[in-house]
Structure 1
Amino acid sequence: MSEPTPVREATPRHYLMCRPTHFDVTYAINPWMDPGKPVDADLAVEQWEGLRRLYVEHGHTVDLVEPVEGLPDMVFSANGATVVDDRVLVAKFRHPERTAEAPSYHEWFTSRDYPQVTSAEYVNEAEGDYIVVGRTVLAGTGFRTDPRAHAEAQEALGVPVVSLQLVDPRYYHLDVALAALSDTEVMYHPGAFSEESRAVLRELYPDALLVDAADAEVFGLNAVSDGKHVFLPETATGLAEQLRARGFEPIGVDLSELFKAGGSVKCCTLEIRHRVPAGA
């Protein structure tokens, strides 16, 4: 007999987002960006607002950090900081086009009296390369985050950090190659990782959901899960079927304008993990 489909339960989450008021593609710092292609800024805001409303409709708290003129990628709030048990590690960006974003995130958390806010010494692009799975941080390196930053994250956040090597420049951040589905489950695209890192993932998550290139290339893995609902690009149709088969409820989102800058659902979503979970 086949295994019964798990019964999934959503838990309230706390997200920090940044409205794409100043969104544009004026430079190229990843393979998806082309400054020669036109961007519809109004449509970008409309699509982003749709994602924000979905979170609120599903019982999640959404706070906003103020967008800064001249920082078109600030909409990708996941890159601003990593938060575990109210301990905050603020990002240090690799590319000069984004370095001015970090102070805004530092100020947001310090002004709200978070007990420990650390500014990174080594380059790390926060939840772009740090995926929190239960009490473990899976940490990517290869294109953006300095491998020395992984030990710094472990010290600052107080949880174990597992290093993973990214090898395909299309998946320049971990959050476009792997996503957390619950405190014990992940989904990932094997082709984004070195053979050694694939072995680590197989050992840690033998029942992981493996995602093919077709769904990975439309950023299907740039997804956010609340334990039941999985918010992901609507174009990742094969992945949506895989998720349904495992008892999750996929919710397709259209962020096609933001995709022009190499980002989607998860990129727009910084999760604030409190010592006492939201709604407890």
Structure 2
Amino acid sequence: MTVLDTRVRPFAAREPRTRHYVMCAPDHFAVEYSINPWMNPDVPVDTTLARQQWDDLRATYQRLGHRVDVIDPAPGQPDMVFAANGGLVVGDRAYGARFTYPERAAEAGVFATWLRTQGLIVTDPSHTNEGEGDFLALGSMILAGTGFRTSIAAHIEAAAALDRPVVSLELVDPRFYHLDTALAVLDDGNGDAASNVAYYPGAFSPHSRRALRDLFPEAIIATEADAAVLGLNAVSDGQHVVLPSQAHQLAEQLDQRGYLPVPIDLSEFLKSGGSVKCCTMERHR
């Protein structure tokens, strides 16, 4: 069980905001194929431990005061536990997913159907995209990854569907095949604090690194070692940052900036190239 840090900092505390998350139970989670550099079907998943780790993540969100909805997994979809990939929700609108690989294609319809049952207006995509894997919403914009799993055309389509400007960022390192493996939103700008992020520069093309420097001059720059354990696959409520427990230096950097790091072990999911954020879709304002 994760122990929350309640130490008093010598500087003004950051303010959390209650969030609304969507998760998918890992009933069918396994590594049955290889569609990213992390996946090796010859390395077995401890399904009992994976369930314990997922339960710990959900319980952590609930202890922090957040709402967590759980969608039922579809048989034969071992990666559906990575709910972030199922779409992007902003307000009462959602932009659905259209997966790159046929192994995950069936997930898109399951997520879109569920989102409609929640009363959301869902745009079915014409272009390849993998939801919040490559779309990270801030109050004033959407950061959108491309290079491996999501097309530039999907960026344009998402901007129209959600009526929010999109900033395109090019990923160049196959280890960081989704934007949410290389960049974490720490403050979305919807509260009193300015929007801010943490990211690993080596995952991005030179022009995208320039864009990130210009947009987020106060960003936390993660080390390659922390990025390599998917430390940036994190979820923040503006104060608490839930992140993989193996990302030790990133946790220290967050602490120094006034955030409260909440380390959690999701090592079984790392075998499939996922961690905290991959398991978490957010219903954004």
TM range (shorter): over 0.9
Q: Distance in 2 between matches of 1:270 and 1:23?
A: 17
Aligned 8 A contact 1:180 1:225 in 2: yes
> Which one of the candidate residues 137, 150, 155 is aligned to 1:132?
137
Aligned 8 A contact 1:133 1:185 in 2: no
Give percent identity, aligned residues only. Answer: 56
Amino acid in structure 2 at the alignment position of 1:66: D
Aligned to 2:277: 266
Aligned to 1:187: 198
Matches for 1:11-26 after TM superposition, within 5 Å: 11-26=17-32
Q: Distance in 1 between matches of 2:54 and 2:116?
A: 26
Aligned to 1:242: 253
Amino acid in structure 2 at the alignment position of 1:253: I
1:31 and 2:37 are equivalent in the alignment: yes
Q: CA deviation at 1:5?
A: 4.2
Q: State the TM-score, normalized to the length of structure 2.
A: 0.93
> Which one of the candidate residues 74, 83, 100 is aligned to 2:106?
100
Aligned to 2:212: 201
Matches for 1:7-86 after TM superposition, within 5 Å: 7-86=13-92
Runs (5+) with no aligned partner, structure 1: 275-280
Amino acid in structure 2 at the alignment position of 1:129: D
Q: CA deviation at 1:110?
A: 1.1
Q: Distance in 1 between matches of 2:206 and 2:118?
A: 42
Q: State the TM-score, normalized to the length of structure 1.
A: 0.95
Q: Distance in 2 between matches of 1:84 and 1:113?
A: 13
Q: Distance in 2 between matches of 1:207 and 1:12?
A: 24
Q: CA deviation at 1:112?
A: 2.1
| CA displacement, residues 195-254 of structure 1 (integer Å, 9 cap, x when unaligned) | 000000111111111001000000010000000000000000000000000000000010
1:158 and 2:163 are equivalent in the alignment: yes
Q: Distance in 1 between matches of 2:238 and 2:173?
A: 28
Aligned 8 A contact 2:92 2:119 in 1: no
Aligned to 2:177: 172
SS in structure 2 opposite 1:181?
Answer: strand
Q: Distance in 2 between matches of 1:172 and 1:85?
A: 27
Q: Distance in 1 between matches of 2:118 and 2:280?
A: 19
- After superposing on structure 2, the runs of 4+ consecutive aligned residues of structure 1 that deviate more than 4 Å are none
Aligned 8 A contact 2:129 2:151 in 1: yes
Q: CA deviation at 1:133?
A: 2.0
Q: Distance in 2 between matches of 1:267 and 1:48?
A: 11
